[in-house]
Amino acid sequence: MNGEIYVANSGLGIGPGIVDAISGSTNTIVAAIPVGTDPMALVTDSTDGDVYAANENSNGSGTIYRISGSTDKVEGAALVGASPVALAFDSANREVFVANLGSNSVSVVAPSAFAPPSTTVTSTTPEFLSGALPVVAAVALALAALVARRVSSRRFGSTSRSKHLPSK
């Protein structure tokens, strides 16, 4: 939305974890956004450009940070399961799905669960889906959303274009 590319840079569990915002036009870092110690995954809300960063804390617990796509500043944080490694965003419900490798679960985090960064988050109650391999579940959710969008755009007459390679 803002022409920036976001990259998670791990602090290897000991030093500050940073999400770099890189200008898509100049290929220079325009913001270094601190997000805990070990950011592992990013996902963008295509509606407002906000970016969500999954971070494994030094004690193994997980936190998701919401970064404003317009200011490149952390707007909130929510606790999730242990070792979050993958994210998917449901734009219809504005929820973040988090694959938690360490707790073998998937957290579903609603927008209301993000506390402002100046507030200490003591507890949140995200819904958990347990028992399934969390990474597979998050990837499956992301693929299902993509397929649903493509089917929906075909059903309502999208004018998307595709390139065809010349035949030999």
What is d(CA 22, CA 19) in angstroms, rounded to the nearest whole number? 10
Q: Is the pLDDT of residue 7 over 80?
A: yes
* Each residue's pLDDT tens digit, 120-137: 444 333 444 443 344 444
* Each residue's pLDDT tens digit, 19-32: 999 999 999 999 99
Average pLDDT value over all residues in the chain: 75
Instruction: Look at domain 4-155 and name its CATH class.
Output: mainly beta
Record the pTM.
Answer: 0.70
What is d(CA 85, CA 82) in angstroms, rounded to the nearest whole number? 9
